[in-house]
Amino acid sequence: MSTTFDAIIIGTGQAGTPLAQRLTSSGMKIAIIERGLFGGTCVNTGCIPTKAMVASAYVANMARRAAEYGVTISGSISVDMKQVKARKDEISGKSNRGVETSLKGMSNCTVFEDHARFGSAQEIHVAGKILTTDQVFVNVGARASIPPIPGLQETGYLTNSTMMDVDFLPSHLVILGGGYIALEFGQMFRRFGSEVTIVEKGPRLADREDEDVSNALREILENEGITVRVNASVTRVVKRDGGIAIEGLPEDVQGSHLLVATGRKPNTDDLGLDKAGVETDKRGYIVVDDQLRTNIPGIWALGDCNGKGAFTHTSYNDYEIVAANLLDGANRRVSDRITAYAVYTDPPLGRAGMTVEQARKSGRKLMVGQRPMTRIGRAVEKGETQGFMKVVVDAETKEILGAAVLGTGGDEVIHSILDVMYAKQPYTLIQNAMHIHPTVSELIPTMLGEMKEG
């Protein structure tokens, strides 16, 4: 016996949940299936909990720096990891419960809490039942990818998911990987009081960024006492002296705990995609077109599992594209969006569009502007002068191609540039704008006025 739905959504990530709302509001009878925690990665093991923990780490750091601001704190600064976790759990738990309550209370929406698998292109197997439909929306997300390093499985390790249960202070956290997740966890645990070593196999941290951005991020972390090992070749992981030793490198690194943050892997290997004939690429990402349709009519893939983005906002934007095209007769496309993201180190890195290196590769004639945070009044007043901002412009069209704001408020400041890019207006528009004093954003027009050939 099977039950038929107008649409089935697999996964309650950042696209699946709002899509359920839109589809049911348009009169469709749908099923949504979740095998884990409602709200997916962002809510439970990604953005929300990590940013809550970053906030605790920020306070710990500022408390240690209190005297610089003329503030006296008597006694030493210590971090109660149980409280840090409790605060994080409260914040992310509220979102998780919010998603669950909204889905379970949604009319025309049946919620299944189990693992879903394709039986065919029109058939989903879940909890011993067969569901049939003409439209399936896959929003299964991704998980930590674990490299095949000898000894790793036997020794044990933490991932972004299991880090969520850590309510103690690791004495020495070794992090494999030098990407955004590694940098955020590394800095926060250093600020909580752990010794931290970041082990990256490539020549630099955050290697998708321009080299000066990578170098500045490294300097910021090293200034806080984090050890960074680049060009590290790891040959084996073993238990040693009650902790963990990473062998290779050239010298071994020994710590109390190991976090593996070496990339993400789509949750598509146990979905029965072959039964539906849905094509994946060699890394397991579901192949989609510019409107997020798979090769099989009636099946879409949204969010991290399609490889077109790895952020909450890209997943949510996927939902908007699919919903608008399907229900509003729109013609929205993934290629209409501009790369944008932030890295929540302190100071944060806000990014939009191309790096200077990418812009150079495009063969355009360029202009590049740059300003250190030490020359931005707001940053000086706040005592947060690490980092810099920079922008790259097409010298002929005057179009802004990209920007990076590594500095206090960088995650917010970047939007003033991003929005001009979306408006497809020349950089002179923002150069002539009057911005508020004192802000970091007020120096964007100045930076644009001081650009040089790049």
Question: Please, which residue, 96 or 386, has the CB nearer to ligand FAD?
Answer: 96
Binding mask 113-152 for ligand FAD (x = CB under 6 A): --xx----------------------xxx-----------
Q: How far is the CB of 112 from ligand FAD (least distance, A)?
A: 8
Using rule CB under 6 A, residue 206 touches ligand FAD: no
Task: Annotate each residue in 342-361 with x if it binds ligand FAD (CB under 6 A) or - if it does not, as one string.
Answer: --x-----------------
Under rule CB under 6 A, residue 410 binds ligand FAD: no
The minimum distance between CB 161 and ligand FAD, in angstroms, equals 8
**Catalytic residue (one of 125, 313, 435, 437):** 437
Q: How far apart are CA 446 and CA 389, in angstroms?
A: 12
Structure tokens at 266: 């789509």
Handedness of CA 69, 72, 76, 80 (dihedral sign): negative
3 state DSSP class of 187 = helix
**Torsion of the alpha carbons at 11, 12, 13 and 15, rounded to the nearest 10:** 90
Whichever of 42 and 444 has its CB closer to ligand FAD, that residue is: 42
Q: Among 5-13, 129-137, 329-337, 345-353, which window interacts with ligand FAD (CB under 6 A)?
A: 5-13
Question: Is residue 36 within the footprint of ligand FAD (CB under 6 A)?
Answer: yes
Q: Minimum Å distance from CB 348 to ligand FAD?
A: 10
- CA-wise closest residue to 48 among 12, 104, 90: 90
Q: Please report whether residue 34 would count as binding ligand FAD according to CB under 6 A.
A: yes
- Among residues 125 and 218, whose Cβ is nearest to ligand FAD? 125
Q: Are strands 349-353 and 400-406 parallel, antiparallel or unpaired?
A: antiparallel
Q: Which of 24, 267, 280, 386 binds ligand FAD (CB under 6 A)?
A: 267
* Helix, strand or coil, per DSSP, at residue 236: strand
| Selected binder of ligand FAD within 8, 31, 42, 245 (CB under 6 A) | 42
- Contacts for 142 with CB less than 8 Å, ≥ 6 apart: 41, 264, 265, 266, 267, 304, 305, 310
In the list 33, 103, 259, 447, the residue contacting ligand FAD (rule: CB under 6 A) is 33
> Cα(400)–Cα(402) distance, rounded to whole angstroms?
6
Question: Position of tokens 């952020």?
Answer: 311
Question: Which residues of 78-226 form beta strands (DSSP E)?
Answer: 109-112, 116-120, 123-126, 129-132, 136-138, 142-144, 172-176, 195-199
Q: Which residue stretch of 41-49, 168-176, 202-210, 444-452 sits at the interface with ligand FAD (rule: CB under 6 A)?
A: 41-49
Site for ligand FAD in 293-312 (CB under 6 A): 303-305, 310-312
What span, in angstroms and rounded, lies between the C-alpha atoms of 280 and 288? 9
Residue 363: helix, strand or coil by DSSP? coil
Stretch that binds ligand FAD, among 31-39, 89-97, 171-179, 415-423 (CB under 6 A): 31-39
Query: Out of 24, 122, 155, 160, which residue is the one contacting ligand FAD (CB under 6 A)?
Result: 160
As given in the structure block, the two tokens for residue 38 are: 């409602």
Angle in degrees, 0-180, between the axes of helices 47-64 and 81-104, rounded to the nearest 10: 150
By the 10 Å C-beta count (0-12 exposed, 13-18 middle, 19+ buried), 404 is classed as buried
- Contact region for ligand FAD (CB under 6 A) — 28-36, 192-200, 284-292, 396-404? 28-36
Q: What is each CA distance from 231 to 69, 137, 149, 228, in whole angstroms?
A: 39, 41, 16, 10
User: Judged by CB, which is closer to ligand FAD: 287, or 310?
Assistant: 310
In the complex, the smallest distance separating the C-beta of residue 73 from ligand FAD, rounded to whole angstroms, is 30
Question: 95, 48 in Cβ contact below 8 A?
Answer: yes
Residue 260 CB, nearest approach to ligand FAD (Å) = 12
**Binds ligand FAD (CB under 6 A): choice among 5, 14, 258, 301:** 14
> Based on C-alpha coordinates, what's the Rg of the chain?
23
115 catalytic residue (yes or no): no
**Window 45-74: contact mask with ligand FAD (x via CB under 6 A):** xxx--xx-----------------------
| Residue nearest ligand FAD, CB atom distance | 141
Maximal C-alpha separation, the chain: 72
Tell me which of 5, 12, 205, 416 binds ligand FAD, using CB under 6 A.
12
Instruction: Provide the token pair at 49.
Output: 């909990």
Distance, in Å, from the CA atom of 180 to the CA atom of 261, rounded to the nearest integer, reads 9
Instruction: Give the total of residues touching ligand FAD (CB under 6 A).
Output: 37
Between 292 and 447, CB nearer to ligand FAD:
292
**Of 346, 375, 67, 58, nearest in space to 223 by CA:** 346
Residues of this chain that bind ligand FAD (CB under 6 A): 10-15, 33-37, 40-42, 45-47, 50-51, 115-116, 139-141, 160, 181, 267, 271, 303-305, 310-313, 315, 344
Catalytic residues: 437
